[in-house]
């Protein structure tokens, strides 16, 4: 199902979730390497465990490809016009 690098990342991410470690993970690679499949497989496993999955992506294309997705600036209410007084809408 996964190549060795994906399998190692999958195991590491699920270990973090299982042990409530609260880590953030960033997966970056070239196109057509299986990132969407990877993300959706992790999300499916996490939802199977009855836990919450929050996708936060940086582009509309990524948001389109992922299930239940939202672009980070919309989710966190971050303005695209940033100045010294800008604040995110986090609560």
Q: How far is CA 38 from CA 41, 77, 79, 83, in A?
A: 5, 27, 29, 36
CB under 8 Å to 63, separation ≥6 — which residues? Answer: 55, 57, 69, 70, 71
Give the mean model confidence (pLDDT) for residues 55-78: 58
Share above pLDDT 70 across residues of the chain, in percent, rounded to a whole number: 63
Q: What mean pLDDT value characterizes the chain?
A: 76
- What integer pLDDT is reported at residue 58 of this predicted model? 60
- 27-44 pLDDT, tens digit each: 877 777 788 888 889 989
CB of 71 closer than 8 Å to CB of 59: yes
Residue with the bigger pLDDT between 52 and 79: it is 52
pLDDT band at 24 (very low <50, low <70, confident <90, very high): confident
Alpha-carbon gap, residue 40 to 69, rounded angstroms? 11
């Amino acid at each position: 199902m996964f190549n060795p690098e994906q399998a190692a990342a999958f195991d590491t991410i699920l270990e973090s979730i299982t042990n409530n470690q609260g880590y953030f993970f960033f997966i970056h690679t070239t196109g057509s390497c299986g990132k969407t499949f990877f993300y959706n497989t992790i999300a499916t496993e996490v939802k199977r465990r009855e836990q919450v999955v929050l996708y936060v992506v940086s582009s509309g294309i990524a948001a389109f490809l992922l299930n239940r997705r939202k672009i980070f600036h919309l989710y966190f209410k971050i303005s695209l016009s940033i100045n010294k007084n800008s604040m995110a809408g986090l609560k």
